[in-house]
Structure 1
Amino acid sequence: VMVLTWSRLPQIAQAQRGVLFVMPHAIVVLLAVLAAITFLIEGAILDWSALLLVDRGLVPKAQGGLGFMLFSISMTVGRLGGDSVVSRVGDRATLVVGSLMAVAGFALLLAAPGAPFAMAGFLLIGLGSSNLVPILFRRAGTQKVMPAGLAVAAITTVGYAGLLVGPGFVGFLANLAGLPSAFAMLAALMCLVTLSARSVTIEAR
């Protein structure tokens, strides 16, 4: 048995050998950038939301994590109902409405005169962004310019790079212009999802 198994090892290794990652191109580049933006925003809220709330005097230090908690809850609820929403209104409308809802959440958060308004902002950001990444990944699987597996792998890599690198970039901007300005930049980046919704949902791309 060992001899037979050993004789097959080179063939097995050769069969499993293949390209694990390729640089995205065409529409996959746009999908990857939008995924990175969405992951970046999630990472920034995880790392910086408590400091934003405390520095603005909206909550005491002990309650600084409330914003991220509400963001996570609303994102979970949004994802649980996401399939139903997308099946009714489609990918494009979900991207547009969701990203605009997230932008409105950032505006409410940054203009909040008190904690309840800020918390409502986090709820809007989480709910609005909840189905963006699933749609982007699904679109990666249906585009025609790259093999679906390689496209999804590329978008996953670029997206999680945004999650890892993004919060540090937000901290750099906060050091230069202040944390509210850095969060305003996140809202501006989310607007790119709105503007790109039509491009990434055109069939047979």
Structure 2
Amino acid sequence: MTSLADTAPSSANSAGTRLATRLAFFVAGFVMACWAPLVPFAKSNIGADEGQLGLLLLCLGLGSIIAMPLTGWISAQVGSKPMILTGGLGLVLVLPLLPVIDTPLLLGAALLLFGASLGTIDVAMNVHAVEVEKAATTPLMSGFHAMFSVGGFAGAGGITFLLSQGASPLASALCGSALALGAILLAWPRLLKVQGGEPPAFVAPRGIVLLLAALAGLTFLVEGAILDWSALLLLGRNLVDPAQGGLGYMLFSIAMTVGRLTGDRVVSALGDRRVLVWSGVLTVAGFVLLLSVDWTAGALLGFVLIGLGASNIVPVLFSRAGRQTVMPAGLAVAAVTTTGYAGILAGPAAMGFVSHVTSLTWAFWMLAALMLLVPVFARSATRG
């Protein structure tokens, strides 16, 4: 089967196609972040404790993990455009249900669909971005992923603002869905229609790729934990009012965006190994500040440090995966991607179980300990 870049290079390299790709990334980050300030309301509606909520969040991760390989296979047959639209419209439809469902079974089913929609658009937009970047013959991927972070800031910030102004959780979610729908409709005619190639067979990561995938999974786990649990952490420590629960994730997203937009220059100046070391140290320092102080400004500054520290870890890991020689570069990057998204979507469910056994604060200390592995293994990850 002919590759996309070969069949329609002018279309793939157009400004409209780049805009559509950026909008797809924005929608994924935006709707995902809209969920963060709504978690306490969903938890309250069904009367769940941390352990029960963790089990329900597992449905979100399960839905995504089921959808990801299916999306990759289908995208290879019909192109990524239908899957981007399917995932995006699924997010638009399911988001308003999450803050109003009042039974655990229905919430679990909704989160399963929400996770499947996230997994679908995540894989499809990256397939689309690879083809657009290939046709452009110039690096574009960092800018596309920065739009995911911009969406995260806009989603968490927008929903937090609406809630703080007295809007109901349902009205806030409906506003988020309306904006996401507008972005999808704008992207729709500009997305590429041509099919990709045959899907590669699954290959388990091995050697250096296994280490890169593990570190990516840990880093994405931090992002997923902050998405799902930051509001509850701030509320549980009486640092913010319920309507301001999304402030932590919003600041994290801003810092992540700034870090990604400046990351290429940082890596050029310091090199991969130093970036991993200092990024890991900065992330851990952010957790220590967040969990050690009892004043709101200090705790929120901790989220900023975590976002800045984590922002450049994954890009370096992807870069190293593309340059290693243990496995074909494409399969290595796919392995790191799959493991990373498994961390961000499935991993936070473990936070609920740890919180149930100990406390949410101790669960966040566990994240800090795991992130110490990044600087510890920086030399091994960048060897060669």
TM-score where L is the length of structure 2 = 0.49
Instruction: Provide Cα deviations, 1:128-184, integer angstroms capped at 9, x if missing partner.
Output: 010000000000000010000000011111111111111100111011110000000
Count of aligned pairs between the two proteins: 190
Instruction: Provide Cα deviations, 1:77-130, integer angstroms capped at 9, x if missing partner.
Output: 001000001100101111110110000000000011210000100000000010
Gaps of 5+ in 1: 1-12
Q: For 1:136-151, what aligned pairs fall within 5 Å after superposition?
A: 136-151=317-332
Q: Which residue, out of 260, 269, 275, partners 1:88?
A: 269
Q: Distance in 1 between matches of 2:199 and 2:339?
A: 20
Q: Which residue, out of 354, 374, 378, partners 1:193?
A: 374
Local SS of the residue matching 2:225: helix
Name the counterpart of 1:63.
Answer: 244
TM-score where L is the length of structure 1 = 0.90
Greater length-normalized contact order (CA 8 Å, ≥ 6 residues apart)? 1
Q: Distance in 2 between matches of 1:133 and 1:21?
A: 21
What amino acid does structure 2 have at the position aligned with 1:189?
L
Matched, 1:172 2:353: yes
Local SS of the residue matching 2:202: coil
- Name the Cα RMSD after superposition: 1.3
Matched, 1:77 2:264: no
Q: CA deviation at 1:17?
A: 4.2
What amino acid does structure 2 have at the position aligned with 1:126?
G
Q: Distance in 2 between matches of 1:107 and 1:87?
A: 28
What amino acid does structure 1 have at the position aligned with 2:266?
V
Name the counterpart of 1:183.
Answer: 364
Q: Distance in 1 between matches of 2:236 and 2:342?
A: 28
Q: CA deviation at 1:61?
A: 0.7
Q: For 1:125-140, what aligned pairs fall within 5 Å after superposition?
A: 125-140=306-321
Q: Distance in 1 between matches of 2:262 and 2:280?
A: 16
* Structure 1 stretch displaced more, 42-51 or 16-25: 16-25
Q: Distance in 1 between matches of 2:351 and 2:318?
A: 25
Name the counterpart of 1:97.
Answer: 278
Q: For 1:112-127, what aligned pairs fall within 5 Å after superposition?
A: 112-127=293-308
Q: Distance in 1 between matches of 2:355 and 2:305?
A: 23
Q: Distance in 2 between matches of 1:130 and 1:136?
A: 11
Q: For 1:15-30, what aligned pairs fall within 5 Å after superposition?
A: 16-17=197-198, 19-30=200-211
Q: Distance in 2 between matches of 1:17 and 1:74?
A: 38
Local SS of the residue matching 2:334: helix
What amino acid does structure 1 have at the position aligned with 2:371?
M
Gaps of 5+ in 2: 1-76, 78-196
Local SS of the residue matching 1:81: helix
Local SS of the residue matching 1:23: coil
Name the counterpart of 2:291.
Answer: 110
What amino acid does structure 2 have at the position aligned with 1:109?
L
Q: Which residue, out of 217, 227, 240, partners 1:46?
A: 227
Q: Which residue, out of 318, 326, 340, partners 1:159?
A: 340
Q: Distance in 1 between matches of 2:344 and 2:198?
A: 29
Q: Distance in 2 between matches of 1:111 and 1:101?
A: 15
Q: Distance in 1 between matches of 2:231 and 2:198?
A: 45
Local SS of the residue matching 1:144: coil
Q: Distance in 1 between matches of 2:206 and 2:309?
A: 27
Instruction: Provide Cα deviations, 1:65-87, integer angstroms capped at 9, x if missing partner.
Output: 00000000000000100000110
Q: Distance in 2 between matches of 1:101 and 1:17?
A: 41
